[in-house]
Structure 1
Amino acid sequence: MTQLHIESLGHGPDLVLLHGWAMHSGIWSGVQDQLAQQFRLHLVDLPGHGLSPMSEPGTLEHWVEIITEILPERCMLGGWSLGGQIAMELALREPRQVQKLILISTTPCFAKNEDWESGMERKLLQLFLENLKLNYATTINRFLTLQMSGDRGASKILSQLRKHFFQRDEPNPVALEKGLKILQQSDLRDRIAAIQQPVLLLHGENDVITHPAAADWMHEQLPQSRRVMFAHCGHAPFLSYPEQFVTCLNEFRIHA
């Protein structure tokens, strides 16, 4: 078993949060204190990210297996971007443990296909993968900038993102490559309707990484879902609208 780094704080029902590609659990620092007033909060570093060691083979299924071992017996589970795909897999695999699901700027399929226009161009994902090996820092900065595209507070939030990112050691290069390959290959569209838990969909209306139409599509497929769109917001609504983000999670805890 890989020993994942987890920071737990607060009191209340268990809430587990999974960050996105190339980031770490410090990304939640702007909302964690408020959330800890209502939840027992568990902030997880994905394998090879933050303070968690890398674990092979680094597939989506393997990462899901590792995280399953540290889930509380009953919890709400939230995932941002890549973390949301992992959260969906966990909800399908462990429906007794994962009682409610929160999908933040997430899509069932990151890459654009002939039958899926709501994805990112495959050439762009491949370019990120190739450039990681050539110039890690520049590639990461481009990715962070892309996350804030279309956000009215882009410059301020981008500085927050960069600050959070460099608070801990650089992610393991192998983990970054494995994560990008998951983004390139993963497609959960044919399984998403099997998710039976209540689902909260939180999405920025100007997100260029995970298109808002993906949230619309999931909302149609998931009978127990609620969708919230954040205006003038890019890929990180918890940074752009921290108070509204916390309110959404608290209301979901009470009413879903």
Structure 2
Amino acid sequence: MSSIHCEIYGQGRPLVMLHGWAMHSGIWREFARQLAERRQVICLDLPGHGRSAPIANFEMPAIVEALLAAIPLPSFDLLGWSLGATVAIDMAAVCPDRVRCLTLLAGNPRFVREPGWPGVKPEVLDSFAELLGNDAKQTLQRFLGLQVQGLPHAKAVLQQLKQSVAECDAPDFAALQGGLRILKLHDARDKLAALKLPIRVIQGDKDTLVPVATAAALRYLQPALQIQVLSGAGHTPFLSHPQALVDILLGDG
């Protein structure tokens, strides 16, 4: 039996969805049910998150291996959000014969900013890592706040996000540390550039964690990728702009 928690909704062309750092699949259950009107939606909890068991080392190769083993299908579409998008790129690189198309939702193959590449400031992740060792609860609350920063209805979206996150205990400490380490150090740009499958990038123009400028930078890596920017959306468009996002994703047929 797999140690990865899996929730499956609906029938149709399979879409596997991966959540972000410190989250779990419950954050987008209602969104998944909307998609499930025309798709089979498979939501996975990352190792050590939600209802998934932890793994010995929360590092990319082990994460990818655990998730691929938990998906009961020979092929599927793959959507990753935030940290889940970074993981999704590596999954597609490891098993290009299984991943039919890839969607990066508020995601980035290189999460931190560096010369010529837009991203979050490294010191933001450093502060999270330092705070995590002293007060994990405060760290997670601060991270939730960053995800809705700048939205006109941020308070309502934040409350919805907090309620969903509270459904499960916080991830184990090693998974939280490992996730921050991946966000700070992992670079999947070469892997993304080498992929030979349809790729779509969906971003919000108010996202403070994955700047909208990332979309243009990604086009240099993959000139054929499809970019869609949601006006007024931040880092959690599945909460703030669910219908617009559903329309995009179901436009595949």
Letter in 1 for 2:102: L
Q: How much does 1:162 deviate? A: 0.6
The superposition leaves residues 111-170 of structure 1 with CA deviations (integer Å, 9 ceiling, x where unpaired) of 122342x12111110110110111111111111011111222211101011111111112
Q: Does 1:96 align with 2:68?
A: no
Equivalenced residues, count? 252
The superposition leaves residues 200-227 of structure 1 with CA deviations (integer Å, 9 ceiling, x where unpaired) of 2110101111111112221342243211
TM-score (ref. length: structure 2): 0.96
Aligned partner of 1:38 in structure 2 is 38
Partners of 2:56 and 2:223 in 1: CA distance: 36
The 5-angstrom pairing of residues 83-232 of structure 1 reads 83-116=84-117, 118-232=118-232
Alpha-carbon RMSD: 1.3
In structure 1, runs of 5+ residues without a counterpart are none
Structure 1's consecutive aligned runs of 4 or more residues displaced over 4 angstroms after TM superposition are none
The superposition leaves residues 222-252 of structure 1 with CA deviations (integer Å, 9 ceiling, x where unpaired) of 243211111121101111110111111111x
Q: Is the 8 A contact 2:2 2:69 kept in 1?
A: no
TM-score (ref. length: structure 1): 0.94
Partners of 1:157 and 1:239 in 2: CA distance: 7
Partners of 1:23 and 1:190 in 2: CA distance: 27
Aligned partner of 1:78 in structure 2 is 79
Aligned partner of 1:246 in structure 2 is 246
Letter in 2 for 1:10: G
Q: How much does 1:39 deviate? A: 1.0
Q: Is the 8 A contact 1:197 1:224 kept in 2?
A: no
Residue 203 of structure 1: SS of its match in structure 2?
strand
Residue 102 of structure 2: SS of its match in structure 1?
strand
In structure 2, runs of 5+ residues without a counterpart are none
Partners of 2:198 and 2:161 in 1: CA distance: 30
Partners of 1:85 and 1:242 in 2: CA distance: 22
Residue 190 of structure 1: SS of its match in structure 2?
helix
Partners of 2:48 and 2:226 in 1: CA distance: 32
Partners of 1:223 and 1:73 in 2: CA distance: 28
The percentage of counterpart residues that share the same residue type is 35
Residue 114 of structure 1: SS of its match in structure 2?
coil
Q: Is the 8 A contact 2:16 2:42 kept in 1?
A: yes
Letter in 2 for 1:80: W
The 5-angstrom pairing of residues 12-31 of structure 1 reads 12-31=12-31
Q: Is the 8 A contact 1:22 1:49 kept in 2?
A: yes
Partners of 2:64 and 2:4 in 1: CA distance: 12
Partners of 1:132 and 1:119 in 2: CA distance: 21
Q: How much does 1:2 deviate? A: 5.6
Partners of 2:233 and 2:151 in 1: CA distance: 4
Partners of 1:245 and 1:115 in 2: CA distance: 29
Partners of 2:113 and 2:223 in 1: CA distance: 25
